[in-house]
């Protein structure tokens, strides 16, 4: 049994290493391509072993740093406000659903689950946000639609509250005269740091990587573009590269890297996520497992 168990462990470790390697390889190719010369990318395509390295993409980014920093600033603003808003709305909704005495609790839970299966569609959603709420070409267009709350997060947090917050503690707080707001702030939230970190990370990643809202709702105020919209516009329109900054770059002897620039911006967009994720990883894994399985 021990020999068989050891063999199984070795096979499992090999498989996990291969899966991890398959996840790292695209990231490695992305970084290598961003440091590959434009001529090599045009001639040979992407390669793990390029014949010639170059800094054309990063030199161009430095020359267009004003646009890039503006996009970065908007990304940080949208991600921060959106993540905080998501946590507030999700926590309040989930806390209410975790109360068994809530009138209509089963119906409300079903409606939350229903939104995970069906939605109103792109065109009705666009008409609602653009013509009813009038958020088009505003920063709220990057925060409110699609991302502020989702059913999966509500269900996971509700399950966590139900399974991991002892009812005896809540009853004791009630006997001590604590109201619902006090119980939430002083009892429930301090015991829920894993699920809060999980929802914060999921929401933050969604806001950081989102480009759909900018594509749909931002048309004239391009200064509201996030880093993903900036990258998407570079990828979809070569004319975007031929602006005043590009002409100035050419005048300064800097090549315009139409291929490598996409890789370089993607690398820069990944850096904050790679820095933050290790600090939230432990809470993320614990929260998603407990919140999804128990109860």
Residue 241 has a pLDDT of: 54
Residue 67 has a pLDDT of: 81
| Cα–Cα separations (whole angstroms), residue 284 to 5, 25, 208, 290 | 29, 24, 17, 10
Write out the H or E segment, with its range, that includes residue 9.
helix 2-34
pLDDT tier for residue 102 given thresholds of 50, 70 and 90: confident
Instruction: Walk me through the domains of the chain, giving residue ranges and CATH numbers.
Output: 57-293 (1.10.3720.10)
Task: Give the distance from CA 221 to its chain's centroid.
Answer: 23
pTM, two decimals, is: 0.79
Residues 143-170, mean pLDDT to the nearest whole number: 88
Q: What percent of the chain has pLDDT over 70?
A: 84
| Cα–Cα separations (whole angstroms), residue 187 to 172, 181, 193, 262, 289 | 10, 10, 11, 47, 22
Chain-wide mean pLDDT for the chain?
82
pLDDT tier for residue 1 given thresholds of 50, 70 and 90: very low
Tell the residue number behind the tokens 């139409």, with chain if given. Answer: 258
Q: Is 53 helix (H, G, I), strand (E, B) or coil?
A: strand
Helix axis angle for 65-97 and 151-164, nearest 10°, is 50
Least confident stretch, 14-18, 24-28, 286-290: 286-290
Beta bridge partners of 53: 36
Of 10, 89, 34, residue with least CA distance to 257 = 34
Q: What is the pLDDT of residues 194-233, one digit of tens each?
A: 888 889 888 998 999 898 999 899 988 888 999 888 877 7
Residue 260 near residue 235, CB atoms below 8 Å:
no
Q: Is 53 exposed, middle or buried (0-12, 13-18, 19+ CB in 10 A)?
A: exposed
Q: What percent of the chain has pLDDT over 90?
A: 21
The alpha carbon dihedral of 280, 282, 285, 286 has a sign of negative
Q: What is the DSSP string of 70-101?
A: HHHHHHHHHHHHHHHHHHHHHHHHHHHHT-TT
Alpha-carbon dihedral angle through residues 133, 136, 137, 140, given to the nearest 10 degrees: 50
Residue 294 has a pLDDT of: 47
Q: CA-to-CA distance for 283 and 287, rounded, in angstroms?
A: 6
Query: Is residue 140 scored above 90 in pLDDT?
Result: yes
Buried b vs exposed e over 22-50: b needs ≥16 C-beta within 10 Å? eeeeeeeebebbbbbbbebbeeeeeeeeb
Q: What is the pLDDT of residues 268-283, one digit of tens each?
A: 888 887 787 777 666 6
């Amino acid at each position: 049994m021990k020999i068989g168990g050891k063999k199984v462990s070795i096979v499992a470790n090999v498989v996990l290493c291969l899966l991890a390697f398959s996840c790292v390889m695209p990231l490695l190719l992305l970084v290598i391509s961003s440091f590959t010369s434009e001529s090599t990318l045009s001639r040979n395509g992407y390669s793990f072993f390029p014949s010639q390295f170059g800094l054309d993409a990063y030199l161009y980014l430095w020359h267009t740093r004003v646009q890039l920093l503006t996009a970065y600033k908007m990304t940080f603003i949208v991600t921060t406000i959106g993540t905080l808003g998501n946590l507030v709305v999700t926590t309040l909704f989930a806390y209410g659903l975790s109360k068994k005495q809530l009138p209509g609790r089963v119906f409300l839970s079903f409606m939350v689950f229903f939104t995970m299966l069906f939605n109103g569609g792109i065109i009705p959603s666009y008409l609602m946000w653009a013509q009813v709420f009038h958020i088009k070409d505003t920063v709220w267009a990057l925060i409110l639609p699609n991302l502020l709350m989702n059913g999966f997060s509500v269900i996971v947090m509700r399950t966590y509250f139900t399974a991991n917050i002892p009812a005896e503690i809540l009853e004791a707080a009630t006997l001590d005269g604590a109201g619902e707001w006090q119980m939430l702030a002083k009892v429930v939230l301090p015991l829920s740091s894993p699920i809060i970190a999980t929802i914060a990370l999921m929401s933050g990643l969604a806001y950081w990587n989102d480009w759909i809202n900018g594509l749909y709702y931002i048309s004239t105020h391009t200064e509201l573009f996030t880093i993903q919209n900036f990258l998407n516009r570079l990828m979809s329109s070569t004319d975007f590269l031929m602006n005043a900054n590009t002409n100035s770059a050419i005048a300064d002897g800097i090549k315009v890297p139409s291929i490598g620039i996409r890789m370089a911006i993607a690398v820069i967009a990944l850096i904050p996520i790679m820095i933050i994720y290790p600090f939230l990883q432990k809470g993320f894994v614990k929260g998603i497992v407990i919140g999804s399985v128990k109860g």
